[in-house]
Amino acid sequence: MPNPTAAILVIGDEILSGRTREGNAHYLAAELSRIGVDLREVRIVPDDHATIVAAVRALSDLADHVFTSGGIGPTHDDITADAVGAAFGAGVGVREDARALLAAHYKTRGVELNEARLRMARIPEGATLIDNPVSIAPGFTLGNVHVMAGVPAVFQAMVASVLPLITGGRPLLSQTLRVLRPEGEVAEPLGRIAAEHPGVTMGSYPFQSNGAYGTNLVVRGPEAAEVSAAMTALAAAFPETTA
């Protein structure tokens, strides 16, 4: 059976303006590899309702699971819940269980649950809440879309809440061979060995180190025996490998 698939949708003007370097997609990509979910696409879009709606629909069709990052806070630019609701034709309003979570949290701290904070209890109809042990305001899952906060610590906590609910496939195993030869010289044997090992994929990533050209060769696949066999073939073809 093929692995389940995923897509990540990052929402935020601050990424597209170059102000903030995106890190949540990178974090989640590694987590998905670990549990055997194939990440098919990452898309970064601005804080624009129509754009988010279109992206949610496209990615929801593309992959088994969509993870969104950003835009579920208390301010006027937090428009993700409404856009995800609209993508599924679901109404969005303050939900009692989410409101109760926030009320209890802020009461303990002597902080007012004002109108802005109450926005974080606005959840599309039919969604299930995603636990947020860091700052309480929940994410939610609607259809195959998991809506999570953009603050990295909260995003990671929500990922930890969601991933155990996902039935993964076979984890993608990978091995890397560091070869001190330029990519143009490893290309021919690499391509030949790749063709001889159809059960794995092989990537080559050139690097420069102390003025010398080298190439990292990466073998990826779900079967340990096939990955190892391919790696053995590579190691034999490039005996000058260094650690």
Q: Exposure pattern of 112-143 as b/e (b: 16+ CB <10 Å)? A: ebeeebebbbbbbeebebbebeeebbbbbbbb
Binding to its own copies (CB under 8 A) within 81-110 occurs at none
CA distance 194 to 217: 11
Q: Which two tokens stand for residue 158?
A: 């929500």
Binding mask 126-155 for its own copies (x = CB under 8 A): -------------------------x-x--
Largest Cα span, the chain: 67
* Interface region with its own copies, contact rule CB under 8 A, candidates 35-43, 124-132, 158-166, 232-240: 35-43
Shortest CB 38 distance to its own copies, Å: 8
CA angle 223, 225, 230 (to 5 degrees): 100
**Nearer Cβ to its own copies (22/132):** 22
**Nearer Cβ to its own copies (178/220):** 220
Binding to its own copies (CB under 8 A) within 169-198 occurs at 172, 174, 182-188, 190-191, 194-195
**Nearer Cβ to its own copies (31/90):** 31
Radius of gyration over every alpha carbon of the chain, rounded to an integer in angstroms: 22
* Interface region with its own copies, contact rule CB under 8 A, candidates 21-29, 121-129, 155-163, 226-234: 21-29
Distance of CA 63 to the CA centre of its chain: 12
CA distance 144 to 165: 12
Q: In terms of DSSP bridges, do strands 128-130 and 139-142 run parallel, antiparallel, or are they unpaired?
A: antiparallel
Q: Which residues bind its own copies (CB under 8 A)?
A: 12-23, 25-33, 39-47, 51, 73-77, 111, 114-117, 119-120, 151, 153, 172, 174, 182-188, 190-191, 194-195, 201-206, 208, 218, 220
